[in-house]
Amino acid sequence: MAFGQQINNLQDSFEAALNLSSSPGAVSTSPTQSFMNTLPHRISTAKQQKALKPFSTGDIKILLLENVNETAIEIFTKQGYQVEFQKSSLPEAELIEKIKDVHAIGIRSKTKLTAEILKHAKNLVVVGCFCIGTNQVDLDFAAKQGIAVFNSPFSNSRSVAELVIAEIITLARQLGDRSIELHTGTWNKVSAKCWEVRGKTLGIIGYGHIGSQLSVLAEALGMNVLYYDIVTIMSLGTAKQVSTLNELLNKSDFITCHVPATAETKNLLSGPQFAAMKDGSYVINASRGTVVDIPALIQAMKAGKIAGAALDVYPNEPAKNGAGAFADGLNSWTTDLVSLPNVILTPHIGGSTEEAQSSIGIEVATAVTKYINEGNTVGAVNFPEVSLRALDLDQDNTVRVLYIHHNVPGVLKTVNNILSNHNIEKQYSDSNGDIAYLMADISNVNQSDIKQIYDELNETDYKISIRLLY
Ligand SMILES: NC(=O)C1=CN([C@@H]2O[C@H](COP(=O)(O)OP(=O)(O)OC[C@H]3O[C@@H](n4cnc5c(N)ncnc54)[C@H](O)[C@@H]3O)[C@@H](O)[C@H]2O)C=CC1
Ligand SMILES: O=C(O)C(=O)COP(=O)(O)O
C-alpha cells in the first residue's frame, strides 16, 4: 500500500541518517542519583561501588505510555533497549513507582511530569513527548535534574489544520445537529442560519506551525484570514496580521485558537472576549483546554452571541478511552455543554491520524535514541542544543564526555584541566539559561583513566550530570 510504503521509507531514511549501530559504553551520575544505583552504567556519586564497564543498550529501560506509535517501539527494540508499553496514561502513584526505575519515558499530552513526579526519577536521562505540546512536563525542573526533553514540533500540525477546516464547515452548516437528528429518526431539512464559508473571515489566534497551515487551507476555500500573534510573523498567502486580539475578535466570523498553554493564554477567550465578537460568530479550540473559559462560552452561547463551537481539548481529560469517561463529573459544566445545539466535541484527536502518529513515533524515538547513545541534544526543548558527529567506535581508546552543569564562569577551565592529559579531538559547549552542556571526545584514554576522569569531574561543584560514553 502506498501509505505504508511511504512510512517504511521514512523510517529507513531516518535510520540511515542516524546510523544507529552499536552503542558506546557509558558511565553516568547526577546529584539526584540514588546512593547505590542498580544499573551498570550508573555509579554512585559518593561511593563508586560498581566497576566502570562499557554500557550496553540492553541495560536501558524505556517506559512508553499513552499508546505511543509502534514506529517508536520498533526503533527502541532494534536498539536492544528494554521497552515497556502501556496503552493509557498511569495513575500518579503507579507512575511514580515505574519512573523510579527507567532511563527514558515516552508520553503524549496526558501524562503530567511534575517536579513532584520527576524527583522520584532517579535514573531518568530523557523524556520523549510524542506530541507537540510540552506543557505537561516541568521543563525547568527536568533541566535542573539533567533530564533532556524532546518533542515533535510539527509532525501533527497538518492533521490539526485539516480537522479545523472540517469543523469550520461543520459549524457553518450545523452538520453535527443534522446528523444527530437523523440518527434518531428526525428529518430536518433547513437552510436558516446555514452558511457557505466562502467570503467569511477566519480569525486565527497563534500563527505558528498549525495556525499558518490552516491559513493556507482556509484561503483555498475562499475565506479571508486574519491572525493575531504576540510576535510579528510574515503572512502566508494574503492573510493579514492584526495588532490586537480585540481587532481580530471584532472582525472575524470564525475564531480559532492555536497557542500553547501558558500563564498568558489561560482563559484567553472568556466573557469579555466573547462579548467583543460579532453576533453569531463561531469559536474553535484545538489547542489546550485552559485557553477557552468553557463556562463563559456556555453563557455566551445561551445568550445567542455565539452560534456554534468546536472543542477538541478540555481542562480535565479522561486518562483512557471508554463509555462514561467524559460525562462522569470530570468537568462541572459537561451536562450544560452537551445540551447546547451546534457544539462539536471531539476527544483530543487533533493530532490523531495514522500519518501524524507514525512520523511522530519515528522523529521522537530517533531523537531519544541519539541522546541516549551519543549525547546529541539537537531538538531538545529544555536543554542547550549540542551535537558532535557520531563517536568513532573503531578508534581505540576514545571516550565521549557528556557534562551537564550549572551555567557559571570557570567551568570550561576546570573541565579542560581535568581532560588535559588526553588529546581533545572535538569539543562543543552551549548554554540555555541556567543550564549548560559540554560534549568532548578525547583520545588515548585507558580504563583507569576513565575512572579517574569520572571521579574528578564528579568532584566539580557545578556538575548536574555526567556520562562517559566509550
Ligand atoms: N488538539 C491537538 O491534538 C493538538 C494540539 N496542539 C496544541 O496546539 C498548540 C499550537 O501548536 P503549534 O502551532 O505547533 O505551536 P507553535 O509554537 O508553532 O505556534 C504557537 C504560536 O502561538 C503564539 N502565541 C504564544 N502565546 C500567544 C499569545 N498569548 N497570544 C497570541 N499568540 C501567542 C506563538 O508566538 C506562536 O506563533 C500547541 O502548543 C499544542 O498545545 C498541537 C498539536 C495537536
Ligand atoms: O501534539 C499535541 O500537543 C497534542 O495535543 C496531541 O496530543 P496527543 O498526542 O494526541 O495526546
Q: Render pLDDT for 172-183 as a digit per residue (tens, 0 to 9).
A: 999 999 999 999
Burial of 179 (0-12, 13-18, 19+ CB in 10 A): exposed
Identify the architecture of domain 157-345 in CATH: 3-Layer(aba) Sandwich (3.40)
User: Known catalytic residue: 348?
Assistant: yes
Ligand 1 contacts (CB < 6 A) are 132-133, 156-157, 160, 205-211, 228-231, 258-262, 264-265, 286-288, 312-313, 348, 350-351
d(CA 152, CA 333): 32
- The CA-CA-CA angle for residues 434, 440, 444, to 5°, reads 150
The 10s digit of each residue's pLDDT in 209-246 is: 999 999 999 999 999 999 999 999 999 999 999 999 99
Q: Do the beta carbons of residue 431 and residue 419 sit within 8 Å?
A: no
d(CA 282, CA 305): 9
User: Known catalytic residue: 288?
Assistant: yes
Its pTM stands at 0.89
d(CA 127, CA 452): 30
CB of 153 shorter than 6 A to ligand 2: no
**Res. 161 pLDDT band, cuts 50 70 90:** very high
For the CA of 264, the nearest atom of ligand 1: 29
User: What 3-state class would DSSP assign to 426?
Assistant: strand
**Catalytic annotation, pick one of 41, 103, 158, 288:** 288
Whether the domain at 49-151+353-383 and the domain at 386-469 fall into the same CATH topology: no
pLDDT of residue 333: 95
pLDDT of residue 52: 52
User: Bigger pLDDT: 90 or 50?
Assistant: 90
Residues 6+ away with beta carbon under 8 Å from 435: 143, 144, 382, 383, 384, 404, 405, 406, 407, 464
Torsional class of 165: left (φ above 0), alpha (ψ -120 to 50), beta (otherwise) = alpha
Q: Is the pLDDT of residue 365 over 60?
A: yes
For the CA of 163, the nearest atom of ligand 1: 1
Burial of 94 (0-12, 13-18, 19+ CB in 10 A): exposed
The 10s digit of each residue's pLDDT in 262-278 is: 999 999 999 999 999 99
Pick the CATH number of 386-469 from 3.40.50.720, 1.10.220.70, 3.50.50.60, 3.30.70.260: 3.30.70.260
> Which of 69, 71, 108 has the most ligand 2 atoms within 8 A of CB, as the residue to mutate?
108
- DSSP secondary structure letter of residue 307: E
**Res. 7 pLDDT band, cuts 50 70 90:** very low
pLDDT of residue 33: 34
Q: Is the pLDDT of residue 44 over 80?
A: no
Q: Is the pLDDT of residue 45 over 90?
A: no
d(CA 9, CA 24): 27
pLDDT of residue 8: 35
Q: Is the pLDDT of residue 32 over 50?
A: no
Percent of the chain with pLDDT over 90: 81
User: What 3-state class would DSSP assign to 18?
Assistant: helix
CB of 108 shorter than 6 A to ligand 2: yes
Identify the architecture of domain 49-151+353-383 in CATH: 3-Layer(aba) Sandwich (3.40)
Domain parsing of the chain, residue ranges: 49-151+353-383, 157-345, 386-469
**Res. 13 pLDDT band, cuts 50 70 90:** very low
